[in-house]
Amino acid sequence: MRIAVSGGGPGGLYFAALAKQLNPAHEITVWERNAPDDTFGFGVVFSDETLGGIEHADTAIFDAMRSEFARWDDIDVHYRGTTFTSGGHGFAAMSRKKLLNILQQRCLDLGITINFRTDAPDLSDYDLVVASDGVNSGLRAKYASTFRPTLETRRCKYIWLGTDLVFDAFKFYVLDTPAGIMQVHGYPYSRDASTFILEMHDDVWQRAGFTAPQGLRPGESDEKSIEMIRELCAEILSGHQVSANNSKWTNFTTVRCATWRHGNVVLLGDAAHTAHFSIGSGTKLAMEDALSLAACLHEQSSVDEALHAYEAERRAVVTSTQRAAQASLEWFENIGQYADQDPHQFAFNIVTRSRRVTYDNLRLRDPEFVADLDAWFARDHDEVRPPMFQPYRIGDLELRNRVIVSPMDMYSANEDGLPTDFHLVHLGSKALGGAGLVMTEMVCVSETGRITPGCTGMYAPEHEQAWQRVTDFVHANTDAKIGIQIGHSGRKGSTKLMWEGIDEPLPEGNWEVCGPSPIPYSPANQTPRELSHDELQEIKEQFVASAEGAVRAGFDLLELHCAHGYLLSSFLSPLTNQRTDEYGGSLENRLRYPLEVFDAIRAVWSGPITVRVSATDWCEGGIDAEESVEIARAFAEHGANGIDVSTGQVVSTEKPAYGRSYQTPYADRIRNEIGRKYGVAVIAVGAISSYDDVNSLILAGRADLCALGRTHLYDPHWTLHAAAEQDFPIAWPKPFAAGSRKPQGGRTDGPKPRLDLIRRGEPKTAHARWRG
């Protein structure tokens, strides 16, 4: 087979070497536009897992690499005059130039032709064309209509440098300068040198007086900026030198492609995907791609089958890595919001920023580090315990732990909105399960404010009596508190029960729906009636009456539902509110009616109030993270005790970025920009399924509490079981005490992932859209 490789970076060269070894009959030619000794950057990083694959695939390459490795186990966080060290991480790095030399020599030894200083010619007569030509791939651009790439330029500038200061660990230096927060990423890559990257938000870069010089030739470095960096980082460098190699300011570009193949042309490495350097993944991903592509080519009977198998095998892994890299990238973009965190919390936060390293993971790697953090977190409490089991206060309401059973619509009420024995058992069992707070589903403020005929209400005396039966049970039999979430369905009402067709209109018996503007949720749904001022006043009074009913029914907390496209949410979003009066237009106007309803409820409800918001509409032109902060600020200024941060479900055309804990970055931002300033509790929700995630989120200061929904459907006693798994002695209900000992044979921490998915990346998760 005649194989052409465009791009002589580590990925392209490694593929060529592996493919030639697997089949010496292949005729392989590599084209590289640079000279053999040209390389940009300094060190490249590998995890132990990646090195294991390289060793298995080609011992000659691995042995040559191993002799060059600088290894470390520790991550040092230097912040506000402190240094925190987290151990047990297991990485290796080496000179990028040495790596290229090793791979070039291996290719030459195997009889592979490498054309240096030569752009790839027309490759149409080759059996296979491997595009490993980097982030600015010419082949990807040539066939862009097939690959359908998206290139997202991010908001931090960074410059890649080297230094003769040999670090003894991976180093994060956080610099609090007059211009704002900057960070140094540093790690050793040889016996006498380290990589030294300075990164900062675009705004900080401008305030610091850096500029992008004009007229630099290819290969030239930005010497003016480098001299400024020498002065700025003089204390870190302690007299050591900083070196440059085509070093210029740049913004990271995240590359994603709809597919990686066009006929016999296949993308590899940065040409197909990029992942932010803060998780050390670029060269690692490219070489893993190369290994997979070479193996698939050898195992499959045709190029077409090989390319299909390659993408199927690698995409899940790459997607998982990009998700982690995106979390890390965004953390550094928003590092300023953590500037006043205690150094203990900041250190844990930065180490766990990608969500791949967690509380439990760190406890295994470095138990002393986590024990120190637990002791710090317990400073205002009676005893050291896992973060999720430290008590918390929302307003005047004391919760025994940080776990909330999230509101989840059950669609099991009587036709007149009356809660039934099902709700008693459902909520009672969750309260017996150990959570600090149990929330009802959205309880509707009127008959026509229901989502479905199976939704509960609080608009009649018999509703109060039925709900009081539930609250009495919870208070008499558990230490949990119980909250009610009240709302109005708006334009998303008059639909089928979820399992009959979520958000689909009823086939008969429909009631008229309403909203801020006559915009249907989808073409299949009713067009809502635009509410008049008198109707707005009437609905506000219905909210007040429901709140008064909640007082009489004995609830401990009230949550106002301003999320998921229901009535109050639809006033907030510009996609659903196109009014031209005082309730539409600017964010201030769109907030007006939800705040009026909130203020009216606050006048009759003296207990704690939380507000559930959708922090993004997941749709262009809708609410985004910036506006969600201002929405949270407005409710905090009006006296909300907590913000329950969900996302989406506002428009049917949304495109959510599903993944583990995918909504938590929004809670994180709101907590660190609004929550701490106003003393408002921030609740994180969204695909949080393990106690490890709960502990990680809370200890890092990304949320004060975590609400879990599907997890509690899987295991109503999840919190009790989480305590048993962590050997924390939580009080069990007396009738259940005999079962409080941890069963032998492993964790009970949620559904077990499929083993066949672990081999190629993170387990897949179903994302049914539970409404609530």
Is 479:551 a contact under the CB 8 Å cutoff?
Answer: no
Instruction: State the pLDDT at residue 646.
Output: 97
Positive or negative torsion for Cα 228, 233, 235, 240: negative
Structure tokens at 625: 């993270």
Structure tokens at 510: 């429909």
Cα separation, 615 vs 639, whole angstroms: 19
Residue 758: which residues within 8 A CB-CB, separation 6 or more?
none
Could you report the per-residue pLDDT of 183-227, keeping only the tens digit for each?
A: 999 999 999 999 999 999 999 999 999 998 888 888 889 999 999
Give the residue carrying structure tokens 């300011």: 249
pLDDT at 248 over 50: yes
Cα separation, 154 vs 142, whole angstroms: 24
Cα separation, 476 vs 235, whole angstroms: 61
pLDDT at 247 over 90: yes
pLDDT at 89 over 80: yes
Amino acid at position 183, single letter: Q
Amino acid at position 739, single letter: G
Average pLDDT over residues 61-87: 94
Q: Give the residue, 686 or 151, on which the prediction is more confident.
A: 151
Could you report the per-residue pLDDT of 723-734, keeping only the tens digit for each?
A: 999 999 998 998
Instruction: State the pLDDT at residue 281.
Output: 76
Could you report the per-residue pLDDT of 352-366, keeping only the tens digit for each?
A: 999 889 999 999 999
Amino acid at position 377, single letter: F
pLDDT at 755 over 50: no
Give the residue carrying structure tokens 């701490």: 676
Instruction: State the pLDDT at residue 661.
Output: 87
* E strand or H helix at 609: strand 609-614
DSSP 735: G
DSSP SS3 for 689: coil
DSSP SS3 for 299: helix
Instruction: State the pLDDT at residue 659.
Output: 80
Average pLDDT over residues 312-325: 94
Q: Give the residue, 750 or 278, on which the prediction is more confident.
A: 278
Could you report the per-residue pLDDT of 637-657, keeping only the tens digit for each?
A: 999 999 999 999 999 999 998
Percent of the chain topping pLDDT 70: 96
Could you report the per-residue pLDDT of 102-129, keeping only the tens digit for each?
A: 999 999 999 999 999 999 999 999 999 9
Strands 180-188, 170-177: pairing is antiparallel
Q: Is 662 a catalytic residue?
A: no
Give the largest Cα separation in the chain, rounded.
86
Could you report the per-residue pLDDT of 516-549, keeping only the tens digit for each?
A: 999 999 999 999 999 999 999 999 999 999 999 9
Report the candidate in 32, 264, 30 with the shortest Cα–Cα distance to residue 146: 264
Helices 461-477 and 533-553: crossing angle in degrees, nearest 10, is: 40
Write the secondary structure of 158-222 as one string of H (helix), E (strand) and C (coil).
EEEEEECCCCCCEEEEEEEECCEEEEEEEEECCCCCEEEEEEEEHHHHHHCCCCCCCCCCCCCCC
Report the candidate in 149, 143, 150 with the shortest Cα–Cα distance to residue 264: 143
* Residue 607 pLDDT class (50, 70, 90 cuts): very high
Instruction: State the pLDDT at residue 171.
Output: 97
Instruction: State the pLDDT at residue 485.
Output: 98
DSSP SS3 for 491: helix
DSSP 1: -
Amino acid at position 57, single letter: A
Instruction: State the pLDDT at residue 394.
Output: 97
Among residues 189, 392, 521, 566, the one annotated as catalytic is 566
pLDDT at 742 over 80: no
pLDDT at 330 over 50: yes
CB half-sphere exposure, 606, CA atoms < 13 A: 2
* E strand or H helix at 47: strand 43-47
Strands 250-257, 529-530: pairing is unpaired
Helices (H), 399-497: 421-432, 461-477
Could you report the per-residue pLDDT of 91-101, keeping only the tens digit for each?
A: 899 999 999 99
Report the candidate in 625, 738, 611 with the shortest Cα–Cα distance to residue 681: 611
Could you report the per-residue pLDDT of 489-526, keeping only the tens digit for each?
A: 999 999 999 999 999 999 999 999 999 999 999 999 99
Positive or negative torsion for Cα 757, 760, 761, 767: negative
Is 128:268 a contact under the CB 8 Å cutoff?
Answer: no
pLDDT at 762 over 50: no
Strands 180-188, 194-201: pairing is antiparallel
Region of 215 (left: φ > 0; alpha: ψ -120 to 50; beta: rest) is left
Strands 403-405, 437-444: pairing is parallel
Instruction: State the pLDDT at residue 753.
Output: 33
Q: What burial class does residue 234 get, using C-beta atoms within 10 Å of its C-beta: 0-12 exposed, 13-18 middle, 19+ buried? A: exposed
Report the candidate in 192, 195, 225, 196 with the shortest Cα–Cα distance to residue 208: 225
Report the candidate in 70, 102, 46, 48 with the shortest Cα–Cα distance to residue 282: 46
Is 69:92 a contact under the CB 8 Å cutoff?
Answer: yes
pLDDT at 754 over 70: no
Average pLDDT over residues 744-756: 42
pLDDT at 767 over 70: no
Instruction: State the pLDDT at residue 280.
Output: 74
Q: Mean pLDDT, the chain, as a whole number?
A: 93
